[in-house]
Amino acid sequence: MPTGLLGRSLLILMTPMLLLQIVTVLIFFERHWDTVARQLSRGLAGDVAYVIDYLGQFPDEEHYQWIQHSARGRLQLDLVFEPDEILQEETTEPPFGLVSEELFNALDERLARPFYFNLDLDDRRLEIRVQLKEGVLSIVAPRKRLYNSTTYIFFMWIAGSALILYGVAVIFMRNQVRPIRRLAKAADQFGRGVDVEDFKPEGASEVRMAATSFLSMRDRIGRHLSQRTALLAGVSHDLRTPLTRMKLELAMQQSSPGVDALKQDVVDMERMVDAYLAFARGEEGEKAEPTDIGKLLTDQVGEALRDGQQIDLHIEDNLDMELRPQSMRRCIANIMSNAGRYANNLSVRAGRRGADYEIVFDDDGPGIPADKREEVFKPFFRLEESRNQATGGVGLGMTIARDSARGHGGEVFLEDAPTGGLRVRLILPMGH
């Protein structure tokens, strides 16, 4: 069965038409063609019987010449008499086919003597051979005496009208399905962060309703993200102000274990606030644009190498993709930073995989237990039990990475690496 709406709609539309045509053709075979074939066969068999009866009554050469001339001019029959010949092959059972069966029955009924016929003498003629007392009479007749041209005209009319109707149906159904495809494409682009401002409702009323609902949803999501960003900007300002005052107050205090600990706590709080804002802000305000994914990946690996990480990079396929560059850089940087924190070596492979672009990160670290792999994507979850931000981080790195990947319509998966550590697979759809 077709999986697409266009294929299913055409199947629903064309199946009854096809069944109707099949029934019509069957009725035609049963009634019209059967009747016409029987009448034509009886007419030809009657002419053959008349010629044989005439020759039986007047077997002299003069009458043979006359009936030969008359049959050719009026009956469209060419007569050739072969004296003292014996019929080598005889038709005793009707051959396969409606016309052959009807001709056999008609000749058998009217001649009552051995006969043989060949309907495929050539493209235009057929032959009937009849055993007489004095020899064999060969009668050659045009094929059109048995085949009615209206039969083929009927089939051509049925087939031609069906093709025209199917063509019109395909054109109209494609026009009806096109708005649905545009709506699906717009939804896919919106899910990947691509601007869809040129999209407008069109098509049938139900499709327009769905498109209008999609536009309303897009606007509501946009307002929600804007309000969230504005709120977080205010929270950031409100939190940074007292933190700055605390840093100034602590800077004026004399160094002591308690003061140094408070200074470190303030620094940790600033890092946590920055990490939380980066996670909550996500991709807000950044527009998707054609981005060289290979260059972006190379730049990020170069920065990690300068920071002292050991990374092996291999890019199988490179292409321009509709991405939010900063968001994708943050996603890749968080994944590599997480690997650099726990592993000594990292291997990065990138290339096409079907309709997706896949980036695989394999490290040689301790890995993550299978039952904890979904937990690490939760905000502020850390496998490292200590509160030291330098060793365990804030707990938002992988959360931001998955949030960014899903914002592009992709996904992040955690698996076992062949090197014994952790494999992170970043899947990005290449779009339509």
b/e per residue 307-336 (b: at least 16 CB within 10 A): eebebebebeebeebbbbbebbbbbbbbbb
CA dist., res. 367 & res. 4, Å (int) = 42
CA dist., res. 27 & res. 397, Å (int) = 74
pLDDT at 77 over 70: yes
How high is the pLDDT of residue 359? 94
Please state the separation of Cα 121 from the chain's center in Å: 50
Can you read off the two tokens belonging to residue 369? 């237990």
Q: Which residue has the tokens 């009886």?
A: 42
Helices 61-70, 34-57: crossing angle, 10 deg rounding: 160
Can you read off the two tokens belonging to residue 123? 């493209």
Q: Are 351 and 429 in contact (CB under 8 A)?
A: no
Q: Which residue has the tokens 């038709």?
A: 91
Nearest by Cα to 192 from 411, 399, 406 = 406
Can you read off the two tokens belonging to residue 178? 């096109």
Tens digit of each residue's pLDDT (9 = 90 or more) over 204-225: 888 899 999 988 998 888 788 7
How high is the pLDDT of residue 285? 57
- CATH number of the 287-429 domain: 3.30.565.10
pLDDT at 375 over 80: yes
Q: How far is CA 274 from CA 47, 230, 261, 264, in A?
A: 107, 15, 20, 15
Helices 149-191, 205-252: crossing angle, 10 deg rounding: 20
Tens digit of each residue's pLDDT (9 = 90 or more) over 281-290: 554 556 778 8
Phi and psi at 348, nearest 5°, equal -120, 125
Q: Are 212 and 188 in contact (CB under 8 A)?
A: no
pLDDT at 150 over 70: no
How high is the pLDDT of residue 386? 41
Nearest by Cα to 269 from 245, 253, 289 = 245
Tell me which DSSP letter residue 425 carries.
E
Please state the separation of Cα 178 from the chain's center in Å: 15
Residue partners of 61: CB distance under 8 A and separation at least 6: none
| Record: fold of 5-150 | Beta-Lactamase (3.30.450)
Return the domain boundaries, the chain: 5-150, 200-281, 287-429
Lowest-confidence region among 41-50, 62-71, 377-386, 403-412: 377-386
pLDDT at 56 over 70: yes
pLDDT at 8 over 70: yes
Percentage of the residues of the chain whose pLDDT score is greater than 70: 89
How high is the pLDDT of residue 389? 44
> Residue ranges of the alpha helices (H) in 140-256?
149-191, 205-252
CA dist., res. 359 & res. 363, Å (int) = 13
CA dist., res. 391 & res. 425, Å (int) = 24
Domain 200-281 has CATH 1.10.3720.10: no
Nearest by Cα to 102 from 159, 171, 33 = 33
Complete DSSP assignment for 354-410: TTEEEEEEEE-S----GGGTTGGGSTT--SS-S--HHHH--S-HHHHHHHHHHHTT-
Complete DSSP assignment for 89-155: ----SPPSSHHHHHHHHHHHHHH-S-EEEETTSSSSEEEEEEE-SSEEEEEEEEGGGT--HHHHHHH
Report the relative pairing of strands 310-315 and 345-353 from DSSP bridges.
parallel
pLDDT at 362 over 60: yes
Under the banding of pLDDT at 50, 70 and 90, the label for residue 151 is low
Complete DSSP assignment for 22-63: HHHHHHHIIIIIHHHHHHHHHHHHHHHHHHHHHHHH--SHHH
Q: Are 284 and 326 in contact (CB under 8 A)?
A: no
Q: In what order do the strands lie in the sheet with 345-353?
A: 310-315, 345-353, 356-363, 422-429, 411-416
The amino acid sitting at 106 is: A
Can you read off the two tokens belonging to residue 76? 């469209």
Tens digit of each residue's pLDDT (9 = 90 or more) over 288-333: 788 999 999 999 999 999 888 899 999 988 888 888 888 888 899 9
Tens digit of each residue's pLDDT (9 = 90 or more) over 152-184: 677 788 888 888 888 888 888 888 888 888 898
pLDDT at 413 over 90: yes
Under the banding of pLDDT at 50, 70 and 90, the label for residue 6 is confident
